[in-house]
Structure 1
Amino acid sequence: MAEIKVKKTVGYVRVSTRDQAIEGYSLDAQRQKISEFCQQDDMELVKIYADEGISGSSVEKRPGIQRLLADAQNKKFDMVVVWKNSRIARNTKDLLEMVDIFQRNGIGFTSVSEKIDLDSAQGRFMFTIMGTVSELERNNIAENVYLGTYKRAQEGYATVGRVLGYKPGLDKSGKKILNIEPREAKIIRLIFNLFDRGKGFRAIANELNQCGYQTKNRNAFSTIAVKNIIDNPLYVGKVRYAKYRNWDKKRRNGLNKKMVLVQGKHEPIISQELWDRVEARRKSTAKIPAWDHQGTNILTGLLRCPECGGVMAASNTTNTLKDGTKKRIRYYSCANFRNKGSKVCHANSIRAEEAETLVMKKLLYVVTEPNIAQIIARKMDKEKSANIQQLRETISNKKTIIAELEEKISKYEDLSKEDAILAQSITPRKLALVNEVSKLQLQIDQCSKKILVYGKGPTNISIKRVVRLIKEIISNKERKYLKKMFALFIDNIQFNRKEKLVWVEMLFNKEIIQQIKKHQQERAGSLKGAPALSLQSSEEIIIKV
């Protein structure tokens, strides 16, 4: 009589949170179920792989499953047993790929709860359906957590972990809130003050490290750590949430248009005035490539390539004249062409003197045209009306979609009342529709806020004052000063080389005006004084000529 071979079996268990442990998902409970199953089916349970406190959404981040898959490739066992399919993976693609690895190596796979035969077409189909349901459940849980955290952020409660400058606490209602940590807050104020004085990220990090200061994780400061602190509105009392969505897949390409940025419940570490100055400097330095901050080519980083839309950078060439003398000529050419070659773009060069002269002529037109304030106001009103109309159409479309979704939700609720068994299967779909309605309503609220902002346009008096400010700036011939000023208020410059035309777009708001004042005050003596102009926070003047 032939000897029956006992299957060498391994188990896999996983739990992601303490809450799951309370609900019966605990590692010990899973181990017991697997052990009892193996005893009943005469399997030899040789090992149980485990991942504790880890989500099932990612295979790469689970050392236990990684060891199991490696041993499967080496055919160290004959069978894999789990309590539920969702324990090994909550992503259908990952689940099917793992089962495929097992089958290619002659290894069986079974679930104590589901008991599906993977060797039959019907069993494989049912297995795929159950994996899809698990993935839907995970996505719904993630979406619900996101919406809950999103709402908390909208209420002004910071949704952050450990952050330098603050420590966790509770407010009067018992909700979690951030409290200032005095010693760390001193470091934060120093960072912002150093940047406001003109120091760069590397210089600030170097000074902090020389003073013996450390990050929240007791590490030395890096340029990235300094940059992240300077760009974090948490320190001015704001709460920012959901700047990116799906970070694990999209990284910085997942920029979220529905980001929350509201006044927080926590106490700010720095003043609004300091934050405005720092933010204005960040915006102005970001416009100019790092390699040309100190040059005198006043349009670098502002002039745009007519072909690819990228920035134009300055370069020099030397021509030999007929009499043998050499003449140095400056050009602006496409930075993408210079850095990446002709497959990306072309040089599209324009002589620097020609481009700078055309731009100055446009600026002189702005300051000499008698009716310029009315012209600018009419253009802005026209664009404002178009934007408001578009926003209203968007709101109307989204309201229509909400009505359709709410009708579907109502039908699901009626079906749930009629059939309790059917109610369990349609609940995930109903929750998904409810979440979609919530997201659409948030989008409508954001559109409504934008309409209110558009309704508070600048006055003719403010426009005239801005025009006088431009006149004062261009009356100065010092190139370094002009370059610094242009980088603050010129958003971009388009040009047509053949027809010798340029189009200049300028932007003025409260922060930009404050930054201009600061630079003029630093040059005390060479100018009569800083302009008296100041704009309201809601005023934004866009000049296109």
Structure 2
Amino acid sequence: MLVGCYLRVSTIDQAEEGYSIEQQKDKLKQYCSVKDWNVYKFYVDAGFSGSNINRPAMQELIEDVNNNKIGTILVYKLDRLSRSQKDTLYLIEDVFNKHKVSFVSLNENFDTSTAFGKASIGILATFAQLEREQIKERMQMGKMGRAKTGKAMNWWNPAFGYIYNRETYDIDQFKADIVKRIYKDYLSGTSINKIAENLNSEGHLGKDRQWSFRTVRMILANSDYTGNVKYHGKIYAGQHTPIIDQKAFETTQKELKIRQQEAYSKNNNPRPFQSKYILSGLLECKYCSCNLALVQYRPRKDGTHLSVYKCPSTMRKKMFTQRQLSNCISKTQERQMLEEYVIKEISKLQANTDKIELMSSSKVVDVDAYEIELEKIEKSLKKLVNIYVDTDSLTIDIFNEKKEALLSQKNAINKKIQSIKKKQPELSIKDAKKVLRGINGNITRASYDTKYKIVRKLIKKIIVGNEESTIKWAFEL
């Protein structure tokens, strides 16, 4: 029998006893000798993770199996083949079994040519997947620990102006001076493109390539320069010395946003969209369900503008069909009058927040009980696997029957949770009250910007009719 011996080691495994390539190879040789098997080839992936099968030797092994060159695959341990349950079962079911190739794992003492081996492979693959998730979790916890203690997070690529040194950053004074100059020039009114142009005209000192808009922009937005470290969107106090003080950095971030919006406005760029008026995008025609469009007329003699909302179906444009033109009876609505109506309705709620509970047609259903039940099922699944592996009290048929029953319950609960979440309003009653109580004074006297923000939080859409309009609140279904 020709045997293909597969060996793999990752950087994590290299320090673990019994996992080195040579140790695996020696054990597999001895096993083949005892079984009187002939080794066709050793397939070695050194320094490759078991999280996927995109490995050179693994791909070569699959090709040789497809060409019927091997009768058996031998590994030292199941997780040498893969740490992914999905990949393990794919290799065994869709590659090895398809070509009648047996799979043998020395450490677990089973092979797929036996009934027990076939039954055990799914269980063992589950544990391999669990181990991979645990490794991933430990690595994430390690990174979080680094961030909380202020250690360098980008040790492989420190920010321009810093040098990585023993868990933290040291300042490269020459480059740090360039960083300070970039911030100073930007806050003095120089554009990002001009800063890059100036640096390049001087020979892009300190860099092995030309400065670009992107590289300057990244420096202006990098919080590492304030002496902090960032991980998963959160900022932690770092151990390194800041190059830019916190106040200058915050001022720069505000200036970046201001200039970005000015650029969008100047170039008439709709992305990202920011509506100018409080009702923009919220108004829907009662008769044809089109979103109302804002139309501004030329200035009056007193300098004011007349702004109105119109249903697009009533406008004679090529994009609308004659059917739409003839069916929609929507009339023009003055912007100011609509805004005053909406603000007045919010003011009524502000005066009586308890009214929200009467208006809300739904009660928020707590999903915590369903989440707790899911946890119980997960524990039952793990317990079932342990009973099957550690004792002889369960046959494979009973094991599969109980497992499928638990998985069926789990699937049903997940569907129920999703169904509940879909039926919940966009804004809870509690949060709606919080928004209203957070308004300083009556909303009718608030600034236009404040009104804009409140309307966006409380209102889902407004159905506009010729005689009356209906507000669909975010706390209603």
TM class by shorter-chain length?
Answer: 0.5 to 0.7
TM-score, normalization by structure 1: 0.51
In structure 1, how many angstroms separate the alpha carbons of the residues matched to 2:56 and 2:211?
A: 30
**Alignment partner, residue 154 of structure 1:** 148
Give 2:222's match in structure 1, choosing from 201, 220, 232: 232
In the other structure, the counterpart of 2:169 is 178
Letter in 2 for 1:65: M
1:275 paired residue number = 249
Partner in structure 1 of residue 329 of structure 2: none
1:65 to 31, 41, 58: 58
2:171 aligned partner, one-letter code:
I
What is the 5 A alignment of 1:413-492? Answer: none
Answer whether contact 1:11 1:47 (CA < 8 A) is retained: yes
Partner of 2:19: 25
Three-state SS of the structure 1 residue aligned to 2:4 is strand
Checking the alignment, whether the CA contact within 8 Å between 2:283 and 2:463 is kept in structure 1 is yes
Identity of aligned residues (%): 27
Q: 1:160 to 1:379 in 2, by over 3 A?
A: farther
| Residue matched to 1:527 | none
SS of 2:18 mapped into structure 1: helix
Aligned pairs (5 A) from 1:239-254: 239-243=229-233
Q: 1:18 to 1:40 in 2, by over 3 A?
A: same
1:12 and 1:81 in contact (8 A); partners too: yes
Which residue pairs with 1:168 in the alignment?
Answer: 164
Equivalents in 2 of 1:296, 1:332: separation in Å? 23
Match for residue 133 of structure 1?
Answer: 127
* Corresponding letter in the other structure for 1:26: S
8 Å CA contact 1:15, 1:51 repeated in 2? yes
- 8 Å CA contact 1:90, 1:135 repeated in 2: yes
Structure 1 equivalent of residue 99 of structure 2? 105
Contact 2:174 2:206 in 1 (8 A): no
Aligned partner of 2:180 in structure 1 is 189
1:168 CA drift (Å)? 2.2
Residues 152 and 300 of structure 1: CA distance in aligned 2, closer, same or farther (over 3 Å): closer
Decide whether the 8 Å contact of 1:315 with 1:333 is kept in 2.
no
- Distance in 2 (alpha carbons) for counterparts of 1:135 and 1:112: 19
CA–CA distance in 1 between the matches of 2:89 and 2:269?
61
* Structure 1 alignment gaps of length 5 or more: 1-5, 171-175, 244-259, 319-328, 335-340, 347-352, 384-393, 413-420, 423-453, 474-484, 504-545
| Alpha-carbon shift at residue 236 of structure 1 (Å) | 2.1
Match for residue 76 of structure 2 among 80, 83, 98: 83
Contact 2:310 2:333 in 1 (8 A): no
Q: Could you tell me which residue of structure 1 aligns to residue 6 of structure 2? A: 12
Whether the 8 Å contact between 1:81 and 1:109 is mirrored in structure 2 is: yes
Shift of 1:89: 0.5
Number of the residue aligned with 1:114: 108
CA distance in 1 between counterparts of 2:87 and 2:141 reads 26
Cα deviation, residue 127, structure 1:
1.2
What is the distance in 2 between the residues matched to 1:502 and 1:200? 47
Q: CA deviation at 1:84?
A: 0.8
Supply the distance in 2 between the matched residues of 1:203 and 1:284 (Cα, whole angstroms). Answer: 18
Contact 2:71 2:100 in 1 (8 A): yes
Question: Residues 149 and 208 of structure 1: is their aligned pair in 2 closer, same or farther, counting only changes over 3 Å?
Answer: same
Structure 2: which amino acid aligns with 1:73? N
* Residues 57, 498 of structure 1: alpha-carbon distance in 2 compared, 3 angstrom cutoff: same
- 2:31 maps to which of 16, 30, 37: 37
The aligned residue for residue 447 of structure 1 is none
Contact 1:284 1:488 in 2 (8 A): no
Gaps (5+ residues) in structure 2?
285-290, 299-306, 313-318, 325-331, 357-365, 384-389, 392-433, 472-477
Q: State the partner residue of 2:281.
A: 304
- What's the offset of the Cα at 1:150? 1.5
Kept in 1, the 8 Å contact 2:292–2:309? The answer is: no
The one-character-per-residue Cα deviations of 1:188-240 (angstroms, maximum 9, x if unpaired) are: 33444455456666665565555544898x55555554554444322222322
**Stretch of structure 1 that moved more, 78-87 or 184-193:** 184-193
Task: Compute the displacement of 1:133 (Å).
Answer: 0.7
- Relative to structure 1, the CA distance from residue 78 to residue 151 in structure 2 (aligned partners, 3 Å threshold; closer, same or farther) is same
Give the Cα separation in 2 of the matches to 1:132 and 1:160.
34
CA contact (8 A) 2:6 2:42 kept: yes
Q: By how many angstroms is 1:126 displaced?
A: 0.5
Query: Can you list the C-alpha shifts for 1:111-133, whole angstroms capped at 9, x where unaligned?
Result: 22123221344312211111111
The verdict on how the C-alpha distance between 1:300 and 1:83 changes in structure 2, with shifts beyond 3 A counting, is: closer
TM-score (structure 2 length as normaliser): 0.58
Task: Give CA deviations for 1:27-74 in whole Å, capped at 9, x if unaligned.
Answer: 2212222222223333332432222223211323x3332333234333
Deviations, residues 335-381 of structure 1 (Å, cap 9, x unaligned): xxxxxx99xxx9xxxxxx9887569x76xx99xx9xxxx9999999x
Q: Would you say the 8 A contact 2:50–2:80 is kept in 1?
A: yes
- Residues 33 and 278 of structure 1, relative CA distance in 2, 3 Å threshold: same
Which has more radius of gyration?
2
Change (3 A) 1:87 1:316: farther
Q: Secondary structure at the match of 2:5?
A: strand
Shift of 1:501: 8.4
Q: What amino acid is the match of 2:145? A: K
Looking at structure 2, the residues matched to 498 and 488 of structure 1 have their Cα atoms a distance apart, in angstroms, of 24
> 3-state SS of the aligned residue for 1:47?
strand
From the superposition, tell whether residues 296 and 184 of structure 1 become closer, same or farther in structure 2 (CA, over 3 Å). Answer: closer
The Cα offsets for residues 289-326 of structure 1, whole Å up to 9 and x where unpaired, read as x75444599x962233546xxx99989999xxxxxxxx
Shift of 1:94: 0.6
- Does the Cα contact within 8 Å between 1:168 and 1:178 map onto a contact in 2? yes
For residues 355-412 of structure 1, the C-alpha deviation after alignment (integer angstroms, 9 at most, x for no partner) is: 87569x76xx99xx9xxxx9999999x99xxxxxxxxxx9xx89x98xx99xx9xxx9
- Counterpart residue type for residue 163 of structure 1: P
Is the 1:237–1:266 Cα contact (8 Å) retained in structure 2? yes
**Distance in 2 separating the partners of 1:496 and 1:316:** 21
Aligned counterparts of 2:178 and 2:470: Cα–Cα separation in 1: 46
Aligned ranges 1:213-224 → 2 under 5 Å: 213=204, 218=208, 220=210, 224=214
Residue 91 of structure 1 and its aligned partner are, at CA, apart by: 0.7
